[in-house]
C-alpha cells in the first residue's frame, strides 16, 4: 500500500487495525496463524482443495478466480485446541506508526456488552506497544482498548481464537483523526454512533476484491466505504484487491455485519458490538452456514 507517512498512506494504515496486513505484508498476516506460506507453486498444489492451481507469489498462495470462493457453502472452522492460547496486539500511533505505551486492554466476553465482568486483570501495552493476552482456546469475544486522549476501540476476534494469533498493527487515534478520515470519504462522523472497520478475505485467506459490506442495522446516517488503490471512497461498489473498507455511523449496540459478492452470493455474516464514539475492528471472510 501507499506510504503510511502521507495522507493516503495514513488512511490505509488505519485499516491495518483489522489485524490483517496488505498483500505486500502477507508473511505477517495474523488473522490465521495457519495462513498459507509457500516457496513454489507445488507447495500450493499439494494442499489440495481450493488451493489447486494456485500460484506462489511473495510466499503466499494466490488462487485462480474459480478457486477464490470455492469453499462457500462448505466452510468448517477447525475445532479449538484444549487449554489456552495467546493473542498479541501491537498498538501503534496511526500517523507515526510508533509503538504506544500505556494503553489499557481488557478481555471481555462477547455477550458482556459493557465488560462488567472482564476476564482477568487489565493489561498495559509495554515499551514495544505490545499487549499479550492469555485466553481459553475457542475464545470469540473482544478486547477493550482505552487510553487518555485517544478514541476507545473494541477488537473482535473473528474467527474465534482456536490457536495463538498475533495482530501486527492496531492503531490508537483521536476522534479528530477519524473525522479527517471520514472527510476523505466524503461523509461526517456522528459522535453518538459507532464505526466498524473491516478486511475482506477469500477462501485462501488472501485479501479479496469484489466484496460488499452491509448491515441490516443501517439507517440514513450509515454509510459504507472502501479503500480503492489506497484512497477512501464512499461511491465504490465493493473492495479492490486489498480488501479494505468499513461502515461508519452504525447505531450503538449489537449489530449484524454481512459480506457479499457482486454476484449476490453471501460469504458470511457476523455479529459485533458497536459503541458511541468508538471503533470496532474485525474481519469478513467465508464462514460456516
CATH code, domain with 139: 2.60.40.2190
Identify any residues that bridge with 194 across adjacent strands, giving them in sequence order.
250
pLDDT digits (tens, 9 = 90+) for 230-287: 778 888 999 999 898 899 999 999 999 999 998 889 999 999 999 999 999 898 999 9
In this predicted structure, what is the pLDDT of residue 66? 58
In this predicted structure, what is the pLDDT of residue 135? 94
Helices (H), 64-174: 65-68
Q: How far apart are CA 224 and CA 243, in angstroms?
A: 13
pLDDT profile of the chain (289 residues), mean per 10 = 33 43 28 54 70 66 69 86 91 83 95 94 95 94 92 92 86 76 79 91 90 96 89 88 91 96 92 94 90
Q: pTM for the complete prediction?
A: 0.75
In this predicted structure, what is the pLDDT of residue 9? 42
3-class SS at 44?
helix
Residue 230 lies in a domain: no
Residue 4 lies in a domain: no
Residue 143 lies in a domain: yes
Whether the CB-CB separation of 57 and 47 falls below 8 Å is answered with no
In this predicted structure, what is the pLDDT of residue 157? 92
In this predicted structure, what is the pLDDT of residue 186? 75
What cell numbers appear for 7 in the block?
A: 495522507
In this predicted structure, what is the pLDDT of residue 254? 95
In this predicted structure, what is the pLDDT of residue 55? 67
Q: How many domains does the chain have?
A: 1
Residue 246 lies in a domain: no
Residue 105 lies in a domain: yes
Residue 236 lies in a domain: no
- State the residue range of the domain holding 102: 78-172
In this predicted structure, what is the pLDDT of residue 122? 94
Residue 217 lies in a domain: no
Residue 285 lies in a domain: no
Amino acid at each position: 500500500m501507499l506510504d503510511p507517512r502521507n495522507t493516503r498512506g495514513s488512511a490505509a494504515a488505519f485499516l491495518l487495525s483489522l489485524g490483517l496486513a496488505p498483500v505486500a505484508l502477507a508473511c505477517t498476516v495474523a488473522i490465521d496463524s495457519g495462513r498459507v506460506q509457500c516457496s513454489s507453486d507445488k507447495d500450493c498444489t499439494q494442499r489440495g482443495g481450493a488451493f489447486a492451481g494456485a500460484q506462489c507469489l511473495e510466499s503466499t498462495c494466490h488462487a485462480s478466480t474459480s478457486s477464490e470462493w470455492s469453499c462457500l457453502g462448505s466452510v468448517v472452522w477447525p475445532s479449538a485446541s484444549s487449554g489456552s492460547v495467546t493473542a498479541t496486539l501491537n498498538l501503534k500511533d496511526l500517523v507515526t506508526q510508533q509503538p504506544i505505551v500505556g494503553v489499557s486492554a481488557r478481555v471481555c466476553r462477547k455477550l458482556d456488552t459493557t465488560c462488567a465482568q472482564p476476564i482477568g486483570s487489565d493489561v498495559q501495552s509495554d515499551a514495544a506497544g505490545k499487549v499479550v493476552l492469555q485466553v481459553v482456546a475457542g475464545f470469540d469475544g473482544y478486547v477493550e482498548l482505552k487510553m487518555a486522549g485517544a478514541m476507545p476501540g473494541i477488537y473482535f476476534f473473528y474467527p474465534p481464537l482456536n490457536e495463538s494469533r498475533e495482530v501486527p498493527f492496531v492503531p490508537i487515534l483521536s476522534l479528530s483523526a477519524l473525522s479527517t478520515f471520514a472527510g476523505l470519504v466524503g461523509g461526517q462522523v456522528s459522535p453518538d454512533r459507532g464505526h466498524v472497520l473491516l478486511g475482506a478475505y477469500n477462501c485462501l485467506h488472501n485479501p479479496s476484491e469484489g466484496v460488499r459490506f452491509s448491515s441490516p442495522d443501517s439507517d440514513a446516517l450509515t454509510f459504507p466505504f472502501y479503500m480503492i488503490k489506497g484512497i477512501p471512497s464512499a461511491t465504490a461498489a465493493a473492495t479492490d484487491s486489498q480488501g479494505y473498507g468499513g461502515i461508519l455511523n452504525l447505531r450503538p449496540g449489537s449489530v449484524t455485519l454481512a459480506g457479499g459478492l457482486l454476484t449476490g452470493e453471501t460469504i458470511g455474516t457476523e455479529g459485533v458490538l458497536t459503541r458511541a464514539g468508538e471503533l470496532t475492528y474485525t474481519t469478513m471472510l467465508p464462514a460456516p452456514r
